Amino acid sequence: MQSDFSKPQRQSLLGIFILFADSLQSSIRALFPILIISLFNDKNKTYYLILGAVVLLLALIVGYLRYRNFTFFVDEDNEEFVVHKGILSKTRIAIPLNKIQQVNLNQSLLQRILSVHALEIDTAGSAKTEVTIKAITQKYALVLKERLLEEGFTPHYEEADYADRVEHEQKKQRPFIRVSPVSLLKTGITSNYVRSFGLLLAFFISTSQYVDDYLTYSDTDAAFINEYFNKVFLLRFIFSIIFVILVLTLLVNLVRTMVRYYNFTVTKQHNALLLSHGLIATRNTIIRPEKVQIVSVGRNFFQKKFNINDIKIRQAADLEQSRERRKMAMEIPGVNEQEKNILMQFLLEKMPERGFTVVPNIRKVILNIFRLIIIPVALFYAYTRLVTDVAPFLILIPFYVVFIGILIYFGFRHNRLFISPDFIIMQHGAWDVENDFIAPHKIQAIKLTQYFWQKSSNVGTVKIYTAGGNVNFGLANFTQLKKLTNFWLYQVETTDKNWM
């Protein structure tokens, strides 16, 4: 592999094994039902062995052809990065260099064993990675990344040691933020409760459904079921399951955080930040302040006591795909207050001030009570009148009402919009309180909404669109929201700053 990227070249030769493993994985997923049947079928073992050998051979052939037909180079005349790929159907991808948003260097476990990296090129025009080079050595990956990201880059192809010098310069740069294992431990036991709890609850519900189907359609005596699965047993079982789910939620969050964000470091490279992390699979991501659209800082009660913050950074994406882009927001977990201020100063160019405050109308509480308490409780009560077997579960209604009522109260208490000449700060959340920071010149569009039944109370909702996602605020005074909208539109039209 040459350091002159103006000439078409292939990946590292070890890429054959990477692409073979990738093709084999895809084949196993497609043939998974057949593989499961073969494990429990004593007949036709020879047939399944032959089928497995054919799958391995085809995966190897496909991996080699994907390696052979994949070439890439930098078109210096047109300022484009060009990729050719495909086996039967050939594809040519040309990406303008000025459209490249970020270049990530990742390593799976197999890539770490083979000492190669995957280089991902991401643009603002897609919710997915535009191009992925599966196998490239670290030395040339660093040179290619610098070529694709640095404006005014002057190639030194005549220097044989240029790649070595770039790698040496990268290693000399020391991280100015390093998230310690203690901070990751604090983050793991204090974050992502709702997501993990929901996944585990869904798992237990589906498992209980399978058990119920088994007891229903098996030869299990009905008297045995009624004797041991009485109302008291069911209530104890439910509370035990909830307790187990809570414990597993903490363990899952802890393991996920420690593995995903292990050795998390933030390094300054020119006018950008390099994020590096990962235990099994490593990831390196470049963030440029001018391309950042929204910076979110979140923490809950325990994280506040531990003095840690979770920072999410959203860069540009198509407005139609902003929801997918929001899922891909880059996270910096477990930073203390001082580190948070340093990152905010770098990403937003100045420390944001809160300015004056806009609060939602009390009708938002009433609406949430009606939507989250009155309607669900009424439907559940009506269901218990039709199905007598679930009547004992009415005892859970007071716990539900109190829990949701607390969330509604704190959600309303924390919901605020802070306005200053330089920033819009949207605060939201009941337990995990997040602050979304947006510079007015990053605004792409603004939408004001007021339904006909809201006109008499003069309330409405504002939705701010950016290239990195959207934020909503309401219900609030509609006259005030219109004045703010006009002010923001005036700022957008008169600013000399670019949105990226």
- Which candidate, 175, 455, 125, places its Cα nearest to that of 318? 125
Report the distance separating Cα 103 and Cα 149, nearest Å: 7
- 185 cis-preceded (ω within 30 degrees of 0): no
Element holding 454 (H helix, E strand):
none
What confidence score (pLDDT) does residue 406 get?
94
Spell out the domain ranges in the chain.
15-172, 181-260, 288-360+415-494, 363-411
Return the number of other C-beta atoms located less than 10 Å from residue 340's C-beta.
Answer: 19
Longest alpha-carbon distance in the chain: 86
**Which residues does the chain have with pLDDT short of 70?**
1-4, 32-45, 124-129, 150-173, 193-238, 241-242, 245, 317-328, 387-393
Amino acid at 372: L
Listed in sequence order, the DSSP H helices in 32-178 are 32-40, 45-68, 109-114, 138-149, 162-172
Q: Is 82 helix (H, G, I), strand (E, B) or coil?
A: strand
8 Å CB contact between 433 and 309: no
Report the distance separating Cα 394 and Cα 406, nearest Å: 20
Q: Which tens digit of pLDDT belongs to each residue from 404-435?
A: 999 999 999 999 999 999 999 999 999 899 99
- Strand pairing class (356-358; 330-335): unpaired
Listed in sequence order, the DSSP H helices in 41-76 are 45-68
138-155 CB burial, b ≥16 within 10 A, e <16:
bbbbbbbbbbbbeeeeeb
Vertex 181: Cα angle to 110 and 106 (nearest 5): 25
Amino acid at 182: V
Q: What φ, ψ does residue 320 adopt, rounded to 5°?
A: -70, -20
Amino acid at 410: F
Alpha carbons within 13 A on the beta-carbon side of 92: 6
8 Å CB contact between 70 and 136: no
Q: What φ, ψ does residue 429 adopt, rounded to 5°?
A: 115, 145
Across the beta sheet with 272-277, the strand order is: 131-136, 117-123, 100-107, 282-287, 272-277, 265-269, 177-178
Which DSSP string corresponds to 338-399? HHHHHHHHHHHSS-----EEE---THHHHHHHIIIIIHHHHHHHHHHHH-GGGGGGGGGHHH
What confidence score (pLDDT) does residue 364 get?
94
For the chain, the first-to-last Cα distance in angstroms comes to 33
What confidence score (pLDDT) does residue 33 get?
66
What confidence score (pLDDT) does residue 325 get?
46
Q: Which tens digit of pLDDT belongs to each residue from 454-495?
A: 999 999 999 999 988 899 998 999 999 999 999 999 999 998
8 Å CB contact between 453 and 460: no
Looking at residue 480, the DSSP 8-state letter turns out to be H
Return the number of other C-beta atoms located less than 10 Å from residue 136's C-beta.
Answer: 26
